[in-house]
Amino acid sequence: MLSSADLHFERALILTALILFLGAGFSCMFIINSVKKKQKNILYYVLSFLVSGIIVLALVTFCFYTMLIE
């Protein structure tokens, strides 16, 4: 059976991943929009949001993995 501490730790990890994903997505969309200053279609923004979020989550996962190995 899972203890309460395990559930809180898992919830904190999920919330951290969600915050990183959303933060990276919105910041990349803001940077792209401010640099290009040209309106793109919604699919362009959705894809850039998803790709940047996935890249940041992969980098953070890799960093945590390397810290656990050492």
Tens-digit pLDDT profile for residues 22-56? 787 777 777 777 777 777 788 887 887 788 888 88
Distance of CA 10 to the CA centre of its chain: 17
- Whole-structure pTM value: 0.61
Instruction: Map out the domains of the chain as residue ranges.
Output: 4-69
Comparing CA positions, the residue from 17, 14, 13 lying closest to residue 58 is 17
| Statement: residue 70 has pLDDT above 70 | no
SS3 41: coil
At residue 13, φ and ψ (nearest 5 deg) are -65, -40
Q: Which residue has the tokens 């810290």?
A: 67
**What is the arithmetic mean of pLDDT over 4-21?**
74
| Statement: residue 11 has pLDDT above 70 | yes
Tell me if 26 sits within 8 A of 49, measured CB to CB.
yes
